[in-house]
Amino acid sequence: MKQFTEILWTKKVDDYRESKGYGITLDEAQNVYVGGYITGEKGRKDFLSIKYDLDGNQEWLNTSNFSRFLEDDVATDILVDEGYVYLMGYAYQGPDYMNDLLLVSYEKSGAFSSSRFYKKAGTDDYPTGFTFANLSRSPITKSRTVVIGHSDNVTQSNVSDILTICFNNDLLTNVLWSDVYNNEIYNGNDIATAVTVNKQGTQIYVTGYSENGSTGKDFVTIKYRVSEKNREWVNFFDYPSKTPGNDRASSVLIKDDSLYVTGSCDRAPNGFWMVKYPVSGSNPPVNESWSNTFIPSFLNGREPGTYNSAAILGMDSTGNIINFYMGWNNEFRSYAAQKFDPNGNVLYTLDPDLKNSLSIPGINKANLKKTNIKKEQLKD
């Protein structure tokens, strides 16, 4: 058996122009798809998509610029189903619309299929998450996709709102619905970082963080129905601490009837928090016995704000939850991981200096804020 550390192949774009990949995915045949940009005419960026086969042979490479203003077009993520390849990104649409979200699809042969802008006047809009809402198992039928991002607040300068767009599964990938979320109590930055959909393709969960006054930034998670623009609930979490700090959710995962959210918390201190919700009901409570705080050795004792950090959730073949933790700045970069059993007990911890890491199960008097959003309060 080949060792996991063995490099099977590496590839680079053989071109003198600058290029960068932002998204990568595999299909069931283990073909590799990459999305990003390549610098085109007059220094502008163009959409870039590449397909490699299992052995690393390039099957096709596409570059395109979809804006008549001949400015930057950048693909930020890529998905693939039985028949199509989907790229999400942004492109400049002139001074009235500025940067708008752009969804482009190709046939798996590399032939162009469609492009669709989501135009929102007077705002810069950038995608931060991309997933399938309904996955097509047919090579001639498109999947339904959902995109999250951040959009300029039209009433406050230097403030962003959470933008969620659910596209239709027709051949032209028209928009089914869209929603902009703003925490109107504090009217600060609301940032979406991750999105997931349940197995049935009926519910969308968006997570990120929101400015909540004196407590700083808090986790925020929003539940939608796929079929219509309807926020079923909005949940906030502020990590319990005597002093304010920023809590930034960075990943969300569904397993069975539970939703898992994780992210960094300045006052953990300098650690990460993972929380579990039931997916049913209105404003479901946090599962206190499942919650977990982890402080990796490479962040233990550091000053908040002097580093970047994020956590990403995954699942092994038996359904155990895995949390991957990352931290970095100009001086260091490191990672750790934990695996949990179905009851939330830590099965193992990987850390470069395990003695100086800290894992704390449960929750103690956490400040859990819940907000019901009525349908009539929704905004376009």
Interval 342-380: pLDDT, tens:
999 999 999 999 999 999 887 654 444 544 433 333 343
Residue 167 lies in a domain: no
| Per-residue pLDDT at 5 | 58
Return d(Cα 236, Cα 162) in angstroms, integer. Answer: 14
Q: HSE (CB half, 13 Å, CA atoms) of 250?
A: 20
Q: Name the domain count of the chain.
A: 1
344 neighbors 289 (Cβ within 8 angstroms): yes
Cis (ω within 30 of 0) for the bond into 95?
no
Burial letters for 325-346: b for 16+ Cβ neighbours within 10 Å, e otherwise? bbbeeeeeeebbbbbbeeebee
Range of the domain at 207: 183-377
Amino acid 194 reads A
3-state helix, strand, coil in the chain (%, to 5): 5, 50, 45
- List strands edge to edge, sheet with 333-340: 308-315, 321-328, 333-340, 346-350
pLDDT digits (tens, 9 = 90+) for 244-254: 789 999 999 99
User: 195 forms bridges with which residues in the sheet?
Assistant: 206
Q: Helices in the chain by DSSP H: which ranges? A: none
Return d(Cα 305, Cα 126) in angstroms, integer. Answer: 24
Residue 132 lies in a domain: no
Residue 298 lies in a domain: yes
Residue 196 lies in a domain: yes
Residue 155 lies in a domain: no
| Per-residue pLDDT at 45 | 94
pLDDT lower than 50: segments of the chain: 1-3, 365-368, 370-380
Say how many C-beta atoms besides its own lie within 10 A of residue 216's C-beta: 21
Return d(Cα 135, Cα 145) in angstroms, integer. Answer: 8
| Per-residue pLDDT at 372 | 40
Residue 260 lies in a domain: yes
240 neighbors 214 (Cβ within 8 angstroms): no
| Per-residue pLDDT at 363 | 66
Residue 189 lies in a domain: yes
Residue 270 lies in a domain: yes
pTM score above 0.85: yes
